[in-house]
């Protein structure tokens, strides 16, 4: 993708980025060699060629398989540091990044190992690259709610390092309501709340309703299907509840890029933002995602600036930081 000078120069805030989704094939091989992990691929090219997804499930298979090389705190540090270096070059000022502790604790890697590696990278990124960041802990919705609750409690010693909680992985058959108690507890503990509503399933609009009315999240990840329920669009607009859209990701795991829906939501007063989801798997970091919005819908510069400004507004950064990154 050719990135226009305007998109390149736009100060950016990323609110929907799975740090495990930034694991590029070359780092995958490097970590596999370092850790003595055998990969089912002979080369980086072969890995890349296997990234052909036709739905969320096929992506998730590759995503979780890739994590087998992440074992030590240094691995998580390297993963995050590579990401920060890349996006510092795309004029990213601040990132609220998801991590999936259960994708690691479920295979015997300690919570502390994961978060301490990420944390060290965050500190270095701020000092050396001028990129600020915060962590959002995601629960895997295809696991039981009890495991999410146990993970929430396990996070408590690290409470100051985590800004909020989210919900990701396979949405089909795993509605937001399944995690209502976990999220109520998380709110009590002072965490900000968000959830993925990313799949074009029959009950997608009902999931969005649960997220907004029952769980009462602070923002919604993906969620463009809210357009099926005008009263919920109005609710999001009037409550300043924004949405984190990921155009390139949507072309792989959804019914299309949804770029047309973004301009519609924008017109109706919903705070729309542009993000990258799992850039190593979907082939585009945040600048490529902004560029996609331009190339596909001819969105003008004022609208792009508004999307970028929305990300600052609906971020969970403290006021002093918001001023610095705007």
Binding mask 218-257 for Zn ion (x = CB under 5 A): ----------------------------------------
Select from 85, 107, 105, 104 the least CA-distant residue to 95.
85
Q: Taking CB within 5 to 8 Å according to partner kind, which of Zn ion, ligand ADE, none is near residue 291?
A: none
β-pairing verdict for 242-245 and 219-222 = parallel
| Residue 170 C-beta: closest distance to ligand ADE, Å | 7
211/220 Cα distance (integer angstroms) = 8
Residue 229 backbone phi and psi in degrees, to 5: -125, 90
Q: Which is nearer to Zn ion, 78 or 277 (CB)?
A: 277
| Residue 323 C-beta: closest distance to ligand ADE, Å | 31
Rg over alpha carbons for the chain, rounded to the nearest Å, is 18
Q: Which is nearer to ligand ADE, 122 or 276 (CB)?
A: 276
State the DSSP code for 43.
S
Which single residue brings its beta carbon nearest to ligand ADE?
Answer: 168
Q: Taking CB within 5 to 8 Å according to partner kind, which of Zn ion, ligand ADE, none is near residue 308?
A: none
Select from 109, 87, 37 the least CA-distant residue to 66.
37
Give the 3-state secondary structure of residue 163. Answer: strand
Vertex 312, ends 196 and 100: CA angle to 5°?
Answer: 35
CB 308 within 8 A of CB 10: yes
Touching ligand ADE, residues 174-203 (CB under 6 A): 196, 198
Q: Binder to ligand ADE among 168, 261, 273, 294 (CB under 6 A)?
A: 168
Touching ligand ADE, residues 43-72 (CB under 6 A): 56, 63
Contacts of 9 (CB under 8 A, 6+ apart): 91
State the DSSP code for 277.
B
| Residue 101 C-beta: closest distance to ligand ADE, Å | 13
Touching ligand ADE, residues 300-319 (CB under 6 A): none
Q: Is there binding between residue 292 and ligand ADE (CB under 6 A)?
A: no
Q: Binder to Zn ion among 277, 281, 288, 304 (CB under 5 A)?
A: 277
Q: Count the site residues for ligand ADE by CB under 6 A.
A: 12
| Residue 21 C-beta: closest distance to ligand ADE, Å | 5
CB 289 within 8 A of CB 275: yes
Report how far apart the first and last C-alpha atoms of the chain are (Å, whole number): 26
Beta bridge partners of 243: 220, 272
Footprint of Zn ion on this chain (CB under 5 A)? 277
Footprint of ligand ADE on this chain (CB under 6 A)? 18, 21, 56, 63, 168-169, 196, 198, 249, 253, 277-278
């Amino acid at each position: 993708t050719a990135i226009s000078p305007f998109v390149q120069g736009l100060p950016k805030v990323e609110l929907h980025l799975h740090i495990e989704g930034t694991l590029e094939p070359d780092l995958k091989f490097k970590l596999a060699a370092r850790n003595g992990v055998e990969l089912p691929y002979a080369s980086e090219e072969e890995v890349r060629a296997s990234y052909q997804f036709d739905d969320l499930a096929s992506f998730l298979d590759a995503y979780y398989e890739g994590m087998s090389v992440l074992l030590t705190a240094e691995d998580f540090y390297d993963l995050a540091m590579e990401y920060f270096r890349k996006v510092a070059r795309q004029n990213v000022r601040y990132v609220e990044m998801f991590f999936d502790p259960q994708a690691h604790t479920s295979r015997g890697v300690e919570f502390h190992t994961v978060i301490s590696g990420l944390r060290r990278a965050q500190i270095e990124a701020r000092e050396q690259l001028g990129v600020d960041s915060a962590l959002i802990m995601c629960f895997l919705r295809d696991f039981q709610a009890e495991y999410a609750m146990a993970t929430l409690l396990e996070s408590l010693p690290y409470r100051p390092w985590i800004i909020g909680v989210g919900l990701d992985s396979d949405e089909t058959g795993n509605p937001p309501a399944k995690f209502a108690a976990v999220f109520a507890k998380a709110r009590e503990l002072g965490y900000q709340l968000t959830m993925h509503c990313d799949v074009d399933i029959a009950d997608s609009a009902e999931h969005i309703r649960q997220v907004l009315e029952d769980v009462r999240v602070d923002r919604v990840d993906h969620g463009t299907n809210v357009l099926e329920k005008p009263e919920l669009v109005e609710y999001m607009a009037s409550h300043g509840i924004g949405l984190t859209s990921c155009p390139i990701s949507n072309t792989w795991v959804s019914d299309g890029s949804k770029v047309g829906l973004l301009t519609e939501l924008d017109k109706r007063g919903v705070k729309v933002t542009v993000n990258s989801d799992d850039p190593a798997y979907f082939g585009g970091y945040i600048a490529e995602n902004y560029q996609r919005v331009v190339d596909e819908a001819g969105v003008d510069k004022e609208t792009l600036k508004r999307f970028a400004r929305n990300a600052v507004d609906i971020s969970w950064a403290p006021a002093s930081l918001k001023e610095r990154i705007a």
